[in-house]
Amino acid sequence: MCRATLSAAVGLLILSAVFTPARSFMAPLHFPEPDKLPSHPELPDPLVMLNGERVTSKQQWIDQRRPELKALFQYYMYGYLPPPAPITAKIEHEDTKAFSGKATLREVAISVGPSDVPPIHLLLVIPNQRKGPVPVFVGLNFCGNHALVKDRGIRLPTVWMYPQLPGVKGHRATEAGRGKQSDVWALEQSIDRGYAVATCYNGDIDPDQKDVREGIQPYLRKRAGKHGPHDWGTIAAWAWGVHRVVDYISTHKDLDKNRIAVVGHSRLGKTALLAAALDERIALAIPHQAGCGGTSPDRNDNPKAETVQRINTSFPHWFNDTFKQFNNDTDKLPFDQHCLIALMAPRPVLLSNAVEDEWANPRGQFRMLQAADPVYRFLGASGLEAKRMPPPGKLIDSTLGYYLRPGKHSMTKEDWKIFLDFADKHFGKLAVNP
C-alpha cells in the first residue's frame, strides 16, 4: 500500500535541501579549426598530448592530458556542457513498501535555476533491507518514470515524448503507458541484488527534437550560447542532467557516493559514457549498445555500422556544429572514442552489445577497449583481460569489460543481470538480506 503521498497539501513533510554543484564545468580552450588539424588515419594515441608531447607520469595524465581530452571532446564533438547549477530537491511522492515491502520508492523533484524552470523528476528506488548506504545505478530513461512502475502516484511527464512509445498520443504521455516499460528497467531485480536505482526521463532535461523548446532546455540555452559552434548539443545537455542527479545522490544518506554507476541505452548510453568521462564522482559506467558518437570508432571501417556523417545528418542536435565538419574526414579528429573510454581510467567500464545490432558496431567497440587499455596499464590499473572478442553470452568482467549477447537492439532484464554481475565484481559482492 502507498504509505504517504507527499505533496503541497502536506507541506510539513516536504523535504528540501540545497546541494553544491560538481566541478565538472570546463572553461573553453581554443584549438585549431578542424581543417587545420593534421590527418590521423590511425587511432590517435591517448597518451600523446595535442602538441605531440608524450605523457610520462600519472600526474601529467591527471593535470594535463585528461583535462585536455575533456576539452577536446567538448570543443570538437559534444559541445561545452552548461555550467553546473545549485539544486534543490523536494520529495513529491513516496511509498515505503514498494515491491511487496522490499523497497522505498520515491519521486523527487530536482530544481535548478529560477522557479519557473521545470524540475527534473527523479524516480528513486532504494532497497529496504540494507546495513548502510547502498550502491546506486543512475541513468536517463526514454519513456517517462510512469512507464517503469505501476504506482499511480508517479506523475506523467508533460513534456514532448517519443511517438512510438506505448500510451503516447500527440507526443504526450497518457495513463495508457503506465507500467508498460517495467521490463526494460527491471527495477525489482536490482532491488533484490541490493542496489538502488535513480532514473529520470531524458525529455525533462531536453526533449529529443531539434526544434522543441521544453524541459530545462530553454534555461540551458540562456546559460550557454557564448561558445558558438562549440556550444553543447543534446547529448551534452543530458550528461549535464546526469551530473545534477549525481549532485543529489552524492549527499543522500542511504546511497553510497563511492559506488555510483551510470547506465544508459543507445543514445542514452552515449550520454552515460560522456557523463562518467567528465565526472570522477561516477565510479563505473555501462554504456549499453551506445555505438556511433559514444563507444564505437568515429574512424569506422564496418560498412554495416552508423557513420559520423549519418548520425550528424539524422540527429543534428545531438552534437555541436563543429562536429559536422568531420563528416567527410574523421581522420582529422584529434581523438577517437577510445579516448573517451580512457578518460574513465582506472574506473571500470562495461561495453555491452547485441549480435544483430551491427549498427552499433560491436566489433568496433571491442577495438575501442583495446585502444583504451594502454591508459589503464599506464596508470597501474588492470584493463581488458581478453585478447579476442568473446563469443556471444560470455561476460568479460575485467576493469575494461565487454559483453555480446544474441539478439537485437534493446535493454532487457537479462542485460540488467549482466550489469549487476559486472557491478558486483567491481563494487564487491553485496551482503543482501542481512
Residue tagged active-site, from 40, 182, 409, 410: 409
Nearest-approach distance from CB 311 to ligand GCU, in angstroms = 5
172 to each of 158, 317, 378, 423, how far by Cα in Å? 7, 21, 49, 35
Contact between 263 and ligand GCU by CB under 6 A: the answer reads: no
Pick from 233, 364, 389: which is nearest to 299 by CA? 364
Q: What is the DSSP string of 174-241?
A: -GGGTTTTHHHH-HHHHHHTT-EEEEEEHHHH--SSTT---TTHHHHHHH--SSGGGB--HHHHHHHH
Residue tagged active-site, from 266, 296, 352, 398: 266
Nearer to ligand GCU, 137 or 318 (CB): 318
Could you say which of 191, 292, 395, 411 contacts ligand GCU (CB under 6 A)? 292
Nearest-approach distance from CB 267 to ligand GCU, in angstroms = 3
Nearest-approach distance from CB 296 to ligand GCU, in angstroms = 9
Angle at 140 between CA 137 and CA 146, to 5 degrees: 100
Size of residue set near ligand GCU by CB under 6 A: 8
Joined grid coordinates for residue 174: 497518457
Could you say which of 311, 354, 384, 418 contacts ligand GCU (CB under 6 A)? 311
Span of 67-75, 247-255, 306-314, 342-350 interacting with ligand GCU by CB under 6 A: 306-314
Could you say which of 146, 243, 244, 267 contacts ligand GCU (CB under 6 A)? 267
266 to each of 140, 314, 354, how far by Cα in Å? 11, 15, 12
Nearer to ligand GCU, 110 or 292 (CB): 292
Active site includes 40?
no
Nearer to ligand GCU, 251 or 410 (CB): 410
Contact between 87 and ligand GCU by CB under 6 A: the answer reads: no
**Residues from 349 through 378 that contact ligand GCU (CB under 6 A):** 359
Pick from 230, 242, 263: which is nearest to 75 by CA? 230
- Could you write out the three-class secondary structure of 370-407? HHHHHHHHHCCCCCCCCCCCCCCCCCECCCEEEEEECC
Nearer to ligand GCU, 167 or 269 (CB): 269
**Binding map of ligand GCU across residues 209-248, x = CB under 6 A, - = no contact:** ----------------------------------------
Contact between 118 and ligand GCU by CB under 6 A: the answer reads: no
Residue 427, exposed/middle/buried by CB under 10 A (0-12, 13-18, 19+)? buried
Distance in angstroms (rounded) separating the CA atoms of residues 85 and 258: 22
Nearer to ligand GCU, 314 or 433 (CB): 314
Closest-approach residue to ligand GCU (CB): 266
Nearest-approach distance from CB 367 to ligand GCU, in angstroms = 18
Nearer to ligand GCU, 187 or 292 (CB): 292
Using the structure block, give the residue that is written with the C-alpha cell 523533484: 109
Nearest-approach distance from CB 404 to ligand GCU, in angstroms = 16
Nearest-approach distance from CB 63 to ligand GCU, in angstroms = 34
Could you say which of 199, 234, 266, 352 contacts ligand GCU (CB under 6 A)? 266
Nearer to ligand GCU, 193 or 270 (CB): 270
Active site includes 409?
yes
Nearest-approach distance from CB 318 to ligand GCU, in angstroms = 8
- Amino acid in the structure at residue 177: G
Residue 69 half-sphere exposure, CB side, CA atoms within 13 Å?
30
Residue 202 half-sphere exposure, CB side, CA atoms within 13 Å?
27
Distance in angstroms (rounded) separating the CA atoms of residues 81 and 220: 9
Contact between 306 and ligand GCU by CB under 6 A: the answer reads: yes
Interstrand relation of 284-288 and 255-265 (parallel, antiparallel or unpaired): parallel
Nearer to ligand GCU, 31 or 162 (CB): 162
Q: Mention every residue, 6+ apart, whose C-beta is less than 8 A from residue 240.
A: 81, 82, 84, 205, 220, 232
Burial code (b: 16+ CB inside 10 Å, e: under 16) for 64-89 equals ebbebbbbbbbbbbbbbbbebbebeb
Q: Mention every residue, 6+ apart, whose C-beta is less than 8 A from residue 9.
A: none
Could you say which of 44, 84, 203, 291 contacts ligand GCU (CB under 6 A)? 291
Active site residue ranges: 266, 409
Contacting residues toward ligand GCU, per CB under 6 A: 266-267, 291-292, 306, 311, 314, 359
